[in-house]
A and B are shown apart, each in its own frame.
Chain A
Amino acid sequence: MIARRLLTAASAIALAVALTGCYEDPDVTVYEPGVYKGKDDPLLAKLEDPEFRAQLDQRFDGQRDR
């Protein structure tokens, strides 16, 4: 009788330990973009110029159908 109880307890412990490995973490690992480590682009400063900006916008607007 005692041996049977011991066997049942051991089986329960073994089952619990075995099922622990079935756990799956539902959280998705999200990678954020890193900080740019390269050189500065001189174009960025040029794009801030309102006159150049207007010229560029006018050119892009020329794609409309005539």
Chain B
Amino acid sequence: MARMKFLCDADRCIECNGCVTACKNANDVPWGVNRRRVVTLNDGLPGEKSISVACMHCTDAPCAAVCPTDCFYTTTDGIVLHDKDLCIGCGYCFYACPFGAPQFPTTEAFGVRGKMDKCTFCAGGPDEPGTASEYEKYGANRIAEGKLPACAEMCATKALLAGDGDLVADIYRQRTMTRDTRPQTWGWAKAYGAGA
């Protein structure tokens, strides 16, 4: 079975926030909630780096460990999801998460928090895939449609990779091996073959 992970290539991310916009658009994320955000280090200085951060779908998810209503579950693909019908919006998961992934929409006056909302890897929730109730609570279920998460699908520079950890690591390894090298149009592989 796969173990779904995100990986953001900091050398490719151009801080366009396309992933954030794609996420908001695909999942109809309410105002004030950011399932995904782009963080820039040394902003404005030479050599600044940006990475796109959302729920990392931890293997040993601390949010699930602290949840008093046990509303978290992990799919066979390692995607961490939760049941909003059980969530009481207590915010324990927000304290436990090292990435600030759990978000709480303001539903009423005086800052009353709603049920927790976070990145679902575009895998919806424990409702029938493709139904209106699922979309309203959790957003799109693109995985059930055989698609990538919207953020990774829309990334213009393919900085944001999503998928099985082994596949993502393999893609990144191939990139780093050829990065900053000369074009191989007339290189070694062309002259002697890829296996030489």
- With both chains docked as a complex, state the minimum distance between the C-beta of B140 and any C-beta of chain A, in angstroms: 12
Residue of B nearest to A66 (CB): B158
Residues facing A in B119-147 (CB within 8 A) are 123-129, 141, 143-144, 146-147
A-B contact count (CB 8 A): 90
Q: Are B76 and A38 in contact (CB under 8 A)?
A: no
Q: Is B75 an interface residue (CB 8 A)?
A: yes
Main secondary structure, interface of A, reads loop
CA distance A64 to B158 in the complex (A): 9
Chain A interface extent, by class: 20 to 34
Give the secondary structure class of B's interface.
loop
The answer, yes or no, to whether A22 is at the interface (CB within 8 Å) is no
Please name all residues of chain B whose beta carbon is closer than 8 Å to the beta carbon of A4 when the two chains form the complex.
none
Give Cα distance in the complex from A34 to B163, angstroms.
Answer: 27
A24 in contact (CB, < 8 A): no
B128 engages A42 (CB within 8 Å): yes
Interface residues of B (CB under 8 A from A): 2, 61, 64-67, 69-73, 75-77, 81-83, 85-86, 123-129, 141, 143-144, 146-148, 152, 158, 161-164, 167, 171, 174-175
